[in-house]
Amino acid sequence: MSNVNKLPYQSLGDQLRSLREQSSESMAEAAGAVEIEEKALQQIESGRERPSEDILMLLISHFAVDEDKAAELWDLAGYEPDAVDDDQSTPGHDHDAAQVRQQTLMVMIDPRVMYSDGVEVVTNNQGVVLNFSQNAGQNGQPLTVSRVGMSREQAKLVMGVLHQALYNLENPNRKKLNDGNT
């Protein structure tokens, strides 16, 4: 009788909320990290809405979910492994799920260069997160293609190295930035 009032994706929403709470993140922080509106994440966590495959992938990556938990979340969302490759022989077969997980992990650790159209910088007391995006999402919406997190000290070092590299490119005859003494 208790299942009568249960929302369609309640179990998925509960799992995602638990992951966010375990990470000690506010809803605004988690929504910002995967570049969706806070209200959209609220709908997902409440079980009223199912995240798109892209958003679910970003949440799995953001919370550093292990392979088995990721497979469970995909299952709770109702995404079939066969949707990735229609040539698979048996719908729902364990081999298909393993192949989808393997493909997912390969995408997450692929060392190729990802070019971006935009960047969002999120800062808090723990550090800085750079969210690089491409305008490749639905209706031209930005889709996060890479996320890099670091301490504030590391971010300052990265800024200096990037500034120096760009200066060297634009001024090939001078190798050091002018420190104001010359």
The mean pLDDT value for 59-78 works out to: 88
Say yes or no to pLDDT of 179 above 70: no
C-alpha dihedral over 147, 126, 55, 137, to 10 degrees?
-50
Number of domains in the chain: 1
CA distance 149 to 104: 21
- At residue 89, the pLDDT reads 40
Which pLDDT band, with edges at 50, 70 and 90, does 173 fall under? confident
- At residue 15, the pLDDT reads 95
CA distances from residue 182 to 18, 48, 92 in whole angstroms, order as listed: 57, 64, 70
Query: What range does the domain containing 22 cover?
Result: 1-85+97-110
Domain annotation covers residue 29:
yes
Domain annotation covers residue 123:
no
Total-model pTM: 0.48
Domain annotation covers residue 136:
no
Q: Nearest Cα to 148, choosing from 166, 125, 127, 134?
A: 127
Residue 29 sits in a domain whose CATH number is: 1.10.260.40
For residue 145, count CB atoms less than 10 angstroms from its CB and return exposed for 0-12, middle for 13-18, buried for 19 or more: middle
Q: What is the pLDDT of residues 151-170, one digit of tens each?
A: 889 999 999 999 998 998 88
Question: Considering only 12-21, 42-51, 119-128, which range has the smallest mean pLDDT?
Answer: 119-128
Domain annotation covers residue 128:
no
Mean pLDDT rounded to a whole number for the chain: 77
